[in-house]
Structure 1
């Protein structure tokens, strides 16, 4: 049995070592290497893997948080996790998220192989096909949503539910249907704009992006979404005028 696996670590040397160990182990296949948990999460939506060698101490989203996001809920399908960390105080947290093993840095190939063998034994016991971390066919396709980091978790937000987005100094407020309060996430409006499909969203102000699907009414200088009217600033008037001409044709 060959196990498809990925390595996740923000330290280049540590990441390179784990990848080298994977590549020299006959029953392991390296399917990807990621320097952050958020990158790994995106990768897991594109391919199926059996095993994740996962660092814990990482910026933005740490390994424990990623394990919680994956939330296998005790199922025997989906990727298993082997934590790799220099801090032994996370052992209890590792067991809480049902990690398969816990490698304490610095570790050698013999320790790595012992953990890998445990993963192989586990996989041989259950003999179930690998299931990618992707949505079922009846749900919205992968490209129909994005993840927002809210405090210590990633929150999935469907594009169709977004009304408009307001940029503050260090944060962004995402207003969605059905939520009384906006979702507050630590990012820039520019960074979030790059993740949104241009055919569905338009930036009309230095501080605002609107969902074109949610536009209720428009004038030459403003957009109405629900009971909110947002002014189009001079910087974005040309692009908005082009949209306006298509909308009224």
Structure 2
């Protein structure tokens, strides 16, 4: 698989280095290089790009601003961003715009290749035809700057935190924190195995320990059943009573 990519950096030496790294990497194809975020944005709407190596601090349009703009671009789910910067205080901002990785200048080819390899893995995953959700054994979630494979049978419950979700697993003491809404995660999970019981909680039905009129006990905690979800819970329980 060959990934079409562009490089964006307002420093000529840094731009030249990233272009040379791209050109010596067999699975990357350099489709353009730009010293301005605005010029890069114009190009991104004119051709199909899979990956962008993007400097953060630029005078006209910062890398963070450009990445936010790209979120509304058609086909944006296939375009990945790897930030390149001399400053180490942008990790949170990069995480919020769903950056694939973060290269801290000065970096060498080994570091570059590792980040590029993540983009290749991500692209291959997107191109792999997956079976319907009810038959899947695992899902992929963005955790920090990695795609983590999570076994569906390992999920106990999920807690929504605005744009993030905490995934509590039977095999791990510490939950995974992923940049994904609870609604998006609900759509990924097989409906026959999971239930939304509150605006902030999804539970695995086979992990339920006990149920009362207003709560469900699962994984050692009690979760309140929201009013709008009580009928669904009653329907589920009626199949076993």
> TM-score by structure 2 length?
0.52
Aligned partner of residue 194 in structure 1, secondary structure:
helix
Partner of 2:98: 60
Q: How does 1:1-249 map to 2 (within 5 A)?
A: 7=4, 13-14=43-44, 17=47, 35-36=76-77, 39=78, 56=82, 59-62=97-100, 92=109, 95-97=112-114, 143-248=136-241
Superposition RMSD in Å:
3.8
**Per the alignment, do residues 12 and 164 of structure 1 end up closer, same or farther by CA in structure 2, a change over 3 Å counting?**
farther
**Using the alignment, how far apart are the partners of 2:48 and 2:162 within structure 1?**
39
Q: 5+ residue gaps in structure 1? A: 20-32, 41-53, 66-87, 101-131, 136-140
User: How many residues matched?
Assistant: 158
| Distance (Å, rounded) in 1 between the aligned partners of 2:202 and 2:44 | 40
Partners of 2:165 and 2:177 within 8 A in 1 = yes
Task: Note closer, same or farther for the CA distance 1:247–1:55 as it changes in structure 2 (3 Å cut).
Answer: same
Aligned residues of 2:81 and 2:99 also touching (Cα < 8 A): no
CA 1:247 to 1:211, structure 2 compared with 1: closer, same or farther past 3 Å?
A: same
Residues 8 and 203 of structure 1: is their aligned pair in 2 closer, same or farther, counting only changes over 3 Å?
farther
- Which ranges of structure 2 fall in alignment gaps of 5 or more residues? 7-39, 50-73, 84-93, 118-123, 129-133
